[in-house]
Structure 1
Amino acid sequence: MRIAHMEKSTPKTAGREWESAVKALLFAALTGIGAVIRIPLSPVPVTMQVFFVLLSGLVLGPFWGMASQIAYLLMGLCGAPFFAAPPHAGPLVLFGPTGGYLWGFVLAAGIAGWASRIGPAGSGFLKIPVRLLPIAACLAGLAAIYICGASWLAAWLALHGKDAALAFELGVKPFILVDLAKASGATAASYLIPKRSFGV
Structure 2
Amino acid sequence: MKFSARDIALAGMFAALAAIVAVLGRFGITAIVPFSLQPLVVLLAGGLLGARLGAMSISVYVLMGLIGLPVFEKPPFGGPAYILQPTFGFLIAFIAAAYVIGKLLEGKKSGFGCYFMAMLAGLFIIYAIGLPYFYLIFNFYIGKAMPVMSVIKIAFLPFVGFDLLKAIMSASLAMAVSRRIG
User: TM-score w.r.t. structure 2 length?
Assistant: 0.87
Given candidates 76, 82, 87, the residue that maps to 2:71 is 82
Match of 2:17 in 1: 30
Q: SS at 1:162's partner residue?
A: coil
Match of 1:164 in 2: 147
Given candidates 99, 122, 134, the residue that maps to 2:108 is 122
Q: CA deviation at 1:131?
A: 3.4
Q: Which amino acid aligns with 2:112?
A: R
Are 2:48 and 1:45 equivalent residues in the alignment?
A: no
The separation in 1 between residues aligned to 2:77 and 2:16, in whole angstroms, is: 14
**RMSD over aligned Cα, in angstroms?**
2.1
Q: CA deviation at 1:79?
A: 2.4
* Residue-by-residue CA offset, 1:47-82 (whole Å, 9 max, x unaligned): 111110010000110011110111001111122221
Gaps of 5+ in 1: 1-13, 124-128
Q: SS at 2:78's partner residue?
A: coil
2:12 and 2:57 in contact (8 A); partners too: yes
The separation in 2 between residues aligned to 1:58 and 1:169, in whole angstroms, is: 29
Percent sequence identity over matched residues?
Answer: 30
Name whichever of 88-97 and 103-112 sits farther off: 88-97
Match of 1:11 in 2: none
2:134 and 2:151 in contact (8 A); partners too: yes
Given candidates 159, 162, 168, the residue that maps to 1:178 is 162
The separation in 1 between residues aligned to 2:49 and 2:121, in whole angstroms, is: 16
Q: Which amino acid aligns with 1:107?
A: A
1:44 and 1:98 in contact (8 A); partners too: yes
Quick one: structure 1 residues 94 and 192, their matched pair in 2 at CA, closer, same or farther if it must change by over 3 Å?
farther
Name whichever of 149-158 and 162-171 sits farther off: 162-171
Given candidates 89, 104, 123, the residue that maps to 2:93 is 104
Quick one: structure 1 residues 41 and 193, their matched pair in 2 at CA, closer, same or farther if it must change by over 3 Å?
farther
Q: SS at 2:146's partner residue?
A: coil
How many pairs were matched up? 175
Q: CA deviation at 1:192?
A: 3.5
The separation in 2 between residues aligned to 1:49 and 1:94, in whole angstroms, is: 18
The separation in 2 between residues aligned to 1:41 and 1:115, in whole angstroms, is: 36
Given candidates 186, 189, 197, the residue that maps to 2:173 is 189
Given candidates 130, 146, 150, the residue that maps to 1:149 is 130
* Residue-by-residue CA offset, 1:108-162 (whole Å, 9 max, x unaligned): 1011111122xxx417xxxxx7431111111110111111110001111221131
Name whichever of 36-45 and 49-58 sits farther off: 36-45
